[in-house]
Amino acid sequence: MKKIISLLFVLLSCKCFTQNLGGNTVFNFLAQPFSPQVSALGGLNISNISNDVSLVSQNPALLRENMNGQINTAFNSFLAGIKNYSLTGAWRNEKAGANFALGVNYFNYGSITQTDAAGNILGEFKPNDYVLQFTVSKKYLDKWFYGANIKFAVSNYGLYKSSAVAADIGVNYYDADNHFQAGITFKNIGTQLKAYEGASKEELPFDLEIGVTKRLKNAPLQFSLTAHHLQAFNIYYNDTAFNASQGDDSYLSNKFTLQKIFSHLIFSTQLFIGEKLEVTAGYNFLRRFDLNAYNIANGLNGFTFGVGALFSKLHIRYAMGFYQKNLFHQFGLNFNLTGSDL
């Protein structure tokens, strides 16, 4: 455990905490969740109590021994015809006393017309992003877990190609008797291997996250609170010049200070109806603030919902979320290659 604590202090003092946020980074698709359960939880959760191998993309310490042989596959239909496919599998090595997983998350943006600077059509190209992920985790004493993700990411946008390597470091505390779990994760510590044509190397979307999950003892409810981008206080995009031109001066009030605070938070809850049905809801403050542009709002921006049918050998999950007047839909399956129960 001393090694874990020492590593956390090193990470807290390293240069990665100076990395930029939002649109100032590259490979932001690394933040997209692998599975519908995470999407329904608000798009990010590092402490959820669940037997779902896809959660290792959120926190590698969530990879557990009972996930041996488990496979998760998911499909996400985004806006404008964007498709997302993911696959994650896990296994246990008793000799090493460790759990391992491999995963891939692939984004297909369809076909786009390629032109030159004068607008002459040269043909078409098919942009895509993908990340390959290797995970390892171990248990420490009775209630502590730690793990790491090693990721190789590639962006391919016609003539513009780039690759990067990154790592996630996660620590998790799980008290099964009290149905409580907490985690801390350092995500996307890394660098570009190859920059885009004509550009210098840019920074990856580093994120420091802390989360807690509590399942009620006498009720079929589970609650999570996740805080993200804790390496910076102000992560809320605010174009003050544009807002002022539109007559919106809310950024001058204390309300904007509260937005800075709440933009770090994601709330989620799960309702378990018997042993076979799981209903999930999440609320992402930052997503709502970003989507509720001045005079353009949707009361459901920032909300996500999901449902899961949990059979003994197959878990089927669906998630949806709101982007103005549009929705995304994500489907996922969990099963075990050995044929054993989940």
Looking at 64-78, 252-266, 280-294, 325-339, which range is the least confident one?
252-266
Q: Which position has the higher pLDDT, 284 or 117?
A: 284
Does the pLDDT at position 283 exceed 50? yes
Domain boundaries, the chain: 2-111+123-336
Does the pLDDT at position 320 exceed 60? yes
Amino acid at 53: V
pLDDT value at residue 100: 98
Q: Residue 60: pLDDT band by 50, 70, 90 thresholds?
A: very high
Fold held by 2-111+123-336: Porin (2.40.160)
Share of the chain above pLDDT 90, in %: 67
Contact yes or no for 303/296 (Cβ under 8 A): no
Among residues 111, 113, 91, 109, the alpha carbon closest in space to that of 100 is found at: 91
pLDDT value at residue 206: 96
Residues 154-168, mean pLDDT to the nearest whole number: 94
Token reading at 103 = 């995963």
Collapse the DSSP code of 37 into the 3-class scheme (helix H, G, I; strand E, B; otherwise coil) and give the result.
helix
| Cα-based torsion angle of the residue sequence 107, 110, 115, 117 in order, rounded to the nearest 10 degrees | -40
Give the Å distances, CA to CA, from 325 to 84, 250, 298, 300, 301: 20, 24, 7, 9, 9
Does the pLDDT at position 243 exceed 70? no
Q: How far is 91 from 95, CA to CA, in rounded Å?
A: 12
Amino acid at 295: N
Q: Which position has the higher pLDDT, 227 or 300?
A: 227
Collapse the DSSP code of 262 into the 3-class scheme (helix H, G, I; strand E, B; otherwise coil) and give the result.
helix
Strand 98-108 to 83-93 pairing = antiparallel
pLDDT value at residue 255: 58
pLDDT value at residue 4: 45
Q: Residue 158: pLDDT band by 50, 70, 90 thresholds?
A: confident
pLDDT value at residue 296: 66
**Could you tell me the pTM of the whole model?**
0.87
